[in-house]
Amino acid sequence: MFLKLENYFKNESKHHFFRTLGLLLKNKLAKIIEIVLVFLLAFIIIKTFSSDEPSDLVYNQAVILWFANIIMLTIVFIGIKLRGEGLGLVLKK
């Protein structure tokens, strides 16, 4: 029984952290910072890994931009989950 209570309190502190972080992300300033972070990180990835050679057009568009888009979507998904919001896709029967 003591072990179950100990695990409960460990999990409760983790949930409290994520709940507090989710409440912070509901703030308008935090949402603006999240948007800036998404585009800034994508810009840094594109500028860092893109090539200036004209023959690397496929590399720039297919690999670098695809990777930057995946990173942007991941940051947005994490922000949505931390705020406790849904994706807006609800399938009803």
User: pLDDT tens, 43-75?
Assistant: 998 888 888 887 888 887 888 889 999 999 998
Domain-located, residue 33:
yes
- The predicted pLDDT at position 70 comes to 93
Domain-located, residue 43:
yes
User: pLDDT tens, 14-49?
Assistant: 566 666 666 666 677 877 888 898 999 999 988 888
Which residue has 């409440």 as its token pair? 23
Domain-located, residue 73:
yes
For residue 70, what is the enclosing H or E element? helix 65-83
> How many domains is the chain built from?
1
Domain-located, residue 91:
no
Which residue has 């994490």 as its token pair? 78
Domain-located, residue 93:
no
pTM above 0.75, yes or no: no
C-alpha–C-alpha distance, residues 50 and 14, integer Å: 39
The count of C-alpha atoms lying within 13 angstroms of the C-alpha of 49, restricted to the half-sphere facing its C-beta, is: 17
Domain-located, residue 23:
yes
Q: Which domain holds residue 70?
A: 2-83
The structure tokens listed for 56 are 């690397």
